[in-house]
Amino acid sequence: MHKNTNIHFIRKRTLVWVCDIEKSSSILNDINYTNEAEEFLKRFFFISAALLRLTGGTVTKWTGDGFLAAYEIPLERDLGIKASKIISAAWHLTYLISTTQLGIVCSKKFRIRHGITYEPDAILVEQRSGHSKVLPKNTSKTMDIIGRGVVLAFRLAGIKAAFPSIVTQKKIIEATGSRERREAFRKVKFSHDDLLIHFKGEKWATSEIYASIEKIPKAKSALSMKRRVKKAIMKSAEATKRVKGHWLSSLYYEMAIGPRWARQVKNALTTFVEAEKLDAPKPAPAPDKKKRLIPKRQKR
């Protein structure tokens, strides 16, 4: 039977998120770790698919060791809300993998990196295929995305950064409107060699690239994130169905009712979070005014 294919090109304002597993090829190509790496990838895709769906993202491509996701921005004023959600989702995905390695016992450490960009002129490619004279609901649909912001996101995902390994644009950081968020990133200055290695010599948008740094978030933003993890885990444990409006709690709920390994990973994360000291660091005591810190100058 003749197969009919329809391709539609749609312009959309979009945030692009590329996630990549660092040095995945070297791990997969090592015969000593192939089984562990393949099992990790299956679990990583399971968690990523659930997280993207719950945060409103569309997976346009699974890259073999990561994903390309698109978040539609209906209005310019929605950029900050969506950007905050994506950065938060990337933080939690990195935190989940770093603390649990998704239940895989392997001497090789799996690390993920994120490239997040804004593409105001994205071209979404929607392809519907199916036999002629069939109902629309039986047709299959695939989605892809075109734009220079997409290319940039892939390149940013290849750049090393401190936890949570996010490299993004200044516009996205500023759109969140959060001072703590801005302090958690620092501008990246690329040398001529860096431009050749990461951007093939192209300079477009490279002057306003920011990468996550580790030393600032420890006191405030990372602490609040970990508290949010603990709160979400507690909500998911109490829920009998998916928690509406709380994507993180819904994610942990889906893990709790999912495959056995997902339940074990959730339990391991719960144990880890409960063991961590989540209290804010106490400020240093003020010096005693009665005691002089500097000795009096002796009279001659």
| pLDDT tens per residue across span 162-183 | 999 999 999 999 999 877 777 8
The overall average pLDDT reported for the chain is 82
Q: Which CATH architecture has domain 3-275?
A: 2-Layer Sandwich (3.30)
Q: Which tens digits make up the pLDDT trace of 82-113? A: 999 999 999 999 999 999 999 998 888 999 99
**Which pLDDT score is estimated for 48?**
97
- Sign of the torsion angle spanned by Cα atoms 26, 27, 28, 31: positive
CB neighbour burial string for 41-68, b if at least 16 within 10 angstroms, e if fewer: bebbebbbebbbbbbebebbbeeebbbb
Domain boundaries, given as residue ranges, for the chain? 3-275
At which residue do the structure tokens 């892939």 appear?
A: 154
Distance CA 166, CA 182 (A): 13
Q: In a 3-state reduction of DSSP, which class is residue 244?
A: coil
**Which pLDDT score is estimated for 287?**
42
**Between residues 130 and 253, which one has the greater pLDDT?**
253
Which among 166, 145, 146 has a CA at the least distance from the CA of 156? 166
Are 250 and 240 spatial neighbours (Cβ–Cβ below 8 Å)?
Answer: no
Q: Is the predicted pLDDT of residue 187 greater than 80, yes or no?
A: yes
State the amino acid at position 65 in one-letter form.
D
Task: Give, in degrees to the nearest 5, the angle at Cα 258 between 253 and 262.
Answer: 90
Q: Which tens digits make up the pLDDT trace of 250-299? A: 999 999 999 999 999 999 888 888 776 544 334 334 444 444 444 455 55
Helices (H), the chain: 24-28, 34-54, 79-100, 148-156, 170-175, 179-183, 192-199, 221-238, 247-256, 260-275
Q: In a 3-state reduction of DSSP, which class is residue 126?
A: strand
**Which pLDDT score is estimated for 290?**
46
Q: Is the predicted pLDDT of residue 151 greater than 80, yes or no?
A: yes
Is the pTM higher than 0.85?
no
In terms of average pLDDT, the best of 115-119, 230-234, 283-287 is 115-119
Q: Is the predicted pLDDT of residue 16 greater than 90, yes or no?
A: yes
Host H or E run for residue 185: strand 185-187
CB neighbour burial string for 203-237, b if at least 16 within 10 angstroms, e if fewer: eebbeebbbbeeebbeeebbbebbebbeebbebbe
